[in-house]
């Protein structure tokens, strides 16, 4: 039987908590992290709601013990915090004891620093150490240096499905025996670049987002970082470690419909879910819960909903929710954040609610889970979709 | 063990490499520290209506991918994997400047839509109607190699697949120029053909695209076999030497089996010792080839090593402009590649004639 790849550690920082434990508490308390912007300087401050991590860059520098003169972007700092928690959680002290790799997803990387200093680089020499932060891979470089990972290090940038693709690749590398253990997930900090970018697409909500609601107004952007540690069965057996669950199925398909919009028949999403079930070698009935991408945009929720009715049958869609009303859409990190929530769901035998839902969409009869649900859990399916037609599905099991 | 064959390859660079029937026959001597790819008739591959909205990297990527698919006589790949250090930097840069200069007002979505790193991969998929696996790697100078590693892994999972893999990077006016401020790009001009003898720090910057079609089976179009690829995020020169030896052992090959080594020397005296250390020891009796004095440096420039190896196998000889020592191989069967950028993101690859 295909058992999947063992998950031995988790780390997360998001607008609902700075650790896995804090995130779990907020989920159980149905307490969201959506607010007005406090730290980021933008003229849209009062026009949108976001999921902001309530820590200043100075606080992050201190928490990580970095020099005052460092070249870590906010994206790299929150990434380092989550990755460090994941390593600790997996009980990894000696990085070089086994072949250890790192794959991080990010969309804008160090854009937060680039946009702060871009116009001053020519005039002032003080902040030129941040010039390299304009490369997304540099974010991963900073985190891997912080963790001391020197071998296989990679960055995936497929917009909002980046972390899901990182987890998928990590599982494949461990399965093939190419690496013994790997830290996988993603990180993205809020930036003016993304706020204005999504703003031009007119898909930012000025209120708390309402995934899968007929009257949804768009998404809340969020910032977060989340990583899993995946390890080979050999290490798990040898060290007798705790295993949270397994990455059991995965697939990546392309919608090939439009650079940013999802197709009306949800073809890419449908293919990703279908192929992930095949890789996991399980039936649709085996899925206890779907952690949907559910960004609360008109386009995504319709396309994803239709894809779910196609794969499961309209009357047989499993219990599902989008947790984006808690955290906002954390872009490249979303697949990592929702992987952590999926595993917590398996651990706790709890399904976390789709907050703010009121009215069923008129296109189909799908109603998300709107309050905490206690349920015996075995298998969770999690979706992540992104610009460029990227659709990825992961399946986690106990 | 399953193979990984290059069944089609194409390249656009600052040299006239788009012509599949020539191999650096007519070399362009560049003079600027930042130099563009050689102009090329994109209209042969892209409709003018579609081209109007395409940035340079999308144009280069779409055209090169079509050339590689045609060389492999393949219409629809089973996966599209792209690597890029910078992504669609031109569009990102203009969007960013509009945000900063206009205080976040008067913005339009097109630039943002085209700014994501996976735009090239997405546009190729859209153009082909390809609904298969599609991923983009952005790990600085191993962006192309990590893409190849994914493809290799996929061929070990399902050897019947044909995978389109590419590396693309473009120059963006201002963001590229910023690297003259942080020392990545040299501060004084030099004839680029003399780059490798430079005695100063920093390097040059250019742009280009390399696409390959990889398959698990050898076909009549196969130009090379990719035996193995490895990346290492950071290492000392001595560790790299040990790593190359370990890499050769793992592939059951000795230094005497290596007919030529292709190195990523870029004229930066601060980091040249990574290459010199192996040039003077391991490879002192091996034919050594370099190329960045021709096509410049950029994150996916190392894909040009794969292009060189494929062409050497195909043509059976090496253009003298690539040679940096006096050793000459009799035949070319095994070619080893090594590249790094500022002591980070090292890659080692072994290609074999097939």
Mean pLDDT, to the nearest integer, of B54-72? 97
DSSP 8-state symbol, A15: T
DSSP per residue, A39-95: SS--TTTTT--EE--S--HHHHHHHHT--SS----HHHHHHHHHHHHHHHHTT---G
Burial class (CB in 10 A: 0-12, 13-18, 19+), A80: buried
Per-residue pLDDT at A258: 87
DSSP per residue, A172-203: HHHHTTS-SEEEEEEEE---HHHHHHHHHTT-
CB–CB of B130 and A138 under 8 A? no
Query: Which residues of A are known to be catalytic?
Result: 160, 293, 329
| Secondary structure (3-state) at B186 | coil
CB–CB of B137 and A154 under 8 A? yes
> How far A111 CA lies from chain B's nearest CA (Å)?
9
Chain B neighbors of A255, CB-CB under 8 A: 131
**% of chain B exceeding 70 in pLDDT:** 99
Q: Say if A71 is an interface residue toward chain B (CB within 8 Å).
A: no
Per-residue pLDDT at B282: 97
Q: Are strands A50-51 and A221-222 parallel, antiparallel or unpaired?
A: parallel
Chain B neighbors of A122, CB-CB under 8 A: 181
Q: Which residue did the predictor score with more confidence, B54 or A359?
A: A359
pTM for this prediction: 0.97
Chain A neighbors of B114, CB-CB under 8 A: 259
Q: Say if B285 is an interface residue toward chain A (CB within 8 Å).
A: no
* Rounded-to-integer distance, Cα A225 and Cα A79, Å: 5
Per-residue pLDDT at B214: 98
Mean pLDDT, to the nearest integer, of B73-94? 96
Q: Say if B107 is an interface residue toward chain A (CB within 8 Å).
A: yes
CB–CB of A388 and B184 under 8 A? no
Nearest CB partner across the interface for B118, out of A115, A158, A201: A158
Q: Are strands B334-341 and B208-215 parallel, antiparallel or unpaired?
A: unpaired
Chain B neighbors of A199, CB-CB under 8 A: 107
CB–CB of B118 and A388 under 8 A? yes
Per-residue pLDDT at B1: 47
Chosen from B62, B87, B97, B118 to mutate, greatest number of chain A CBs within 10 A:
B118
Residue B136 pLDDT > 70:
yes
Nearest CB partner across the interface for B113, out of A115, A252, A260: A260
Per-residue pLDDT at A261: 86
Q: Say if B103 is an interface residue toward chain A (CB within 8 Å).
A: yes
Greatest CA span in chain B, whole angstroms?
64
Q: Say if A265 is an interface residue toward chain B (CB within 8 Å).
A: no
CB–CB of A157 and B137 under 8 A? yes
Per-residue pLDDT at B123: 94
Per-residue pLDDT at B40: 87
Tens digit of pLDDT for each residue in B174-193? 999 999 999 999 999 999 99
Based on its alpha-carbon atoms, the radius of gyration of chain A, rounded to whole angstroms, reads 20
Task: Please answer whether residues A101 and A152 qualify as being in contact, where contact means their C-beta atoms are separated by less than 8 angstroms.
Answer: yes
Mark which residues 358-387 of A lie under 8 Å from B by CB: 386-387
Mark which residues 4-63 of B lie under 8 Å from A by CB: none
Q: Say if B96 is an interface residue toward chain A (CB within 8 Å).
A: yes
Picking from B57, B58, B74, the residue whose alpha carbon sits closest to that of residue B5 is B74
Which residues does chain A have with pLDDT short of 50? Answer: none
* Rounded-to-integer distance, Cα A286 and Cα A248, Å: 12
Q: Say if B281 is an interface residue toward chain A (CB within 8 Å).
A: no
CB–CB of A137 and B157 under 8 A? no
> How far A223 CA lies from chain B's nearest CA (Å)?
17
Q: Say if B106 is an interface residue toward chain A (CB within 8 Å).
A: no
Chosen from A137, A160, A275, A385 to mutate, greatest number of chain B CBs within 10 A:
A137
Task: Please answer whether residues A137 and A162 qualify as being in contact, where contact means their C-beta atoms are separated by less than 8 angstroms.
Answer: no
Mean pLDDT, to the nearest integer, of B2-16? 96
- Residue B53: pLDDT band (50, 70, 90) is confident
CB–CB of B134 and A389 under 8 A? yes
> How far A260 CA lies from chain B's nearest CA (Å)?
7
DSSP per residue, B95-135: HHHHHHHTTT-S--HHHHHTTSTTHHHHHHHHHHT--SEEE
> How far B111 CA lies from chain A's nearest CA (Å)?
9
* Rounded-to-integer distance, Cα A246 and Cα B257, Å: 43
**Average pLDDT for chain B:** 96
Crossing angle (nearest 10°) for helices A136-147 and A74-89: 40
**Helix or strand run (H / E) with residue A229:** strand A224-231
> How far B252 CA lies from chain A's nearest CA (Å)?
17
* Rounded-to-integer distance, Cα B68 and Cα B80, Å: 12
Per-residue pLDDT at B74: 98
Chain A neighbors of B97, CB-CB under 8 A: 118
* Rounded-to-integer distance, Cα A221 and Cα A204, Å: 8
What ipTM is given for this predicted complex? 0.96
CB–CB of B112 and A201 under 8 A? yes
């Amino acid at each position: 039987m295909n058992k999947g790849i063992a998950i031995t550690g988790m780390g997360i920082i998001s607008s609902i908590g700075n650790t896995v434990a804090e995130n779990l508490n907020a989920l159980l308390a149905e307490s969201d992290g959506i607010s007005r912007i406090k730290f980021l300087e933008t003229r849209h401050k009062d026009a949108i709601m976001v999921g902001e991590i309530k820590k200043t860059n100075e606080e992050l520098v201190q928490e990580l013990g970095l020099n005052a003169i460092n070249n870590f972007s906010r994206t790299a700092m929150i990434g380092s915090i989550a990755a460090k928690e994941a390593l600790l959680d997996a009980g990894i002290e000696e990085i070089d004891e086994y072949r250890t790799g790192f794959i991080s997803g990010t969309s804008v990387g160090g854009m937060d620093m680039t946009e702060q200093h871009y116009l001053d680089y020519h005039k002032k020499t003080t902040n030129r150490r941040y010039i390299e932060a304009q490369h997304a891979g540099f974010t991963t470089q900073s985190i891997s240096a912080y963790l001391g990972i020197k071998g296989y290090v990679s960055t995936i940038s497929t917009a909002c499905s980046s972390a899901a693709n990182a987890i998928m690749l990590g599982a494949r590398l461990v399965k093939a025996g190419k690496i013994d253990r790997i830290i996988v997930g993603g990180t993205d900090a809020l930036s003016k670049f993304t706020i204005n970018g999504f703003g031009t697409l007119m898909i930012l909500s000025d209120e708390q987002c309402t995934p899968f609601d007929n009257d949804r107004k768009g998404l809340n952007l969020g910032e977060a970082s989340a990583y899993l540690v995946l390890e080979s069965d050999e290490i798990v057996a040898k060290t007798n470690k705790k295993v949270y669950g397994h990455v059991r199925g995965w697939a990546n398909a392309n919608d090939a419909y439009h650079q940013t919009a999802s197709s009306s028949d949800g073809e890419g999403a449908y293919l990703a879910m279908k192929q992930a079930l095949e890789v996991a070698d399980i039936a649709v009935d085996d899925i206890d819960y779907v952690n949907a991408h559910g960004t609360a945009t008109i386009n995504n929720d319709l396309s994803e909903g239709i894809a779910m009715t196609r794969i499961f049958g309209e009357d047989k869609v499993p219990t599902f929710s989008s947790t984006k009303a808690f955290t906002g859409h954390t872009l490249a990190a979303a697949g990592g954040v929702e992987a952590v929530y999926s595993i917590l769901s398996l651990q706790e035998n709890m399904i976390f609610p789709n907050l703010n839902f009121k009215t069923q969409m008129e296109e189909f009869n799908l109603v998300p889970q709107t309050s905490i649900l206690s349920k015996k859990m075995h298998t969770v399916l999690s979706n992540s979709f992104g610009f460029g037609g990227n659709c990825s599905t992961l399946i986690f099991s106990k | 063990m399953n193979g990984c064959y290059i069944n089609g390859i194409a390249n656009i660079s600052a040299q006239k490499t788009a012509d599949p029937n020539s191999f650096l026959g007519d070399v362009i001597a560049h003079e600027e520290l930042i130099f563009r790819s050689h102009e090329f008739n994109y209209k042969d591959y892209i409709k003018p209506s579609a081209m109007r909205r395409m940035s340079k990297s999308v144009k280069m990527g779409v055209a090169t991918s079509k050339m590689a698919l045609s060389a492999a006589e393949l219409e629809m790949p089973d996966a599209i994997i792209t690597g890029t250090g910078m992504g669609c930097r031109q569009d990102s840069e203009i969007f960013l400047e509009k945000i900063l200069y206009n205080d976040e007002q008067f913005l339009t979505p097109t630039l943002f839509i085209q700014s994501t790193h996976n735009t090239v991969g997405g546009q190729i998929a859209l153009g082909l109607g390809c609904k298969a696996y599609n991923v983009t790697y952005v790990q600085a100078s191993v962006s192309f190699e990590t893409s190849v590693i994914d493809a290799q892994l996929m061929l070990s999972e399902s050897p019947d697949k044909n995978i389109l893999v590419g590396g693309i990077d473009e120059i963006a006016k201002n963001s590229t120029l910023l690297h003259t401020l942080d020392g990545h790009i040299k501060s004084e001009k030099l004839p680029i053909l003399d780059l490798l003898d430079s005695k100063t720090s920093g390097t040059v910057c250019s742009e280009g695209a390399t696409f390959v079609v990889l398959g698990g089976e050898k076909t009549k179009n196969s130009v090379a076999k990719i035996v193995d690829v490895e990346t290492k995020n950071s290492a000392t020169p001595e560790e790299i030497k040990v790593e190359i030896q370990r890499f050769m052992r793992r592939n059951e090959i000795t230094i005497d089996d290596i007919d030529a080594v292709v190195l990523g020397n870029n004229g930066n005296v601060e980091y040249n010792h990574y290459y010199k250390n192996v040039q003077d020891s391991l490879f002192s009796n091996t034919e050594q080839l370099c190329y960045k004095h021709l096509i410049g440096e950029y994150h996916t420039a190392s894909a040009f090593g794969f292009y060189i190896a494929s062409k050497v196998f195909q043509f059976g000889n090496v253009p003298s402009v690539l040679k940096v020592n006096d050793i000459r191989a009799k035949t070319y069967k095994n070619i080893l590649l090594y590249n790094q950028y500022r002591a980070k993101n090292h890659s080692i690859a072994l290609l074999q004639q097939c």
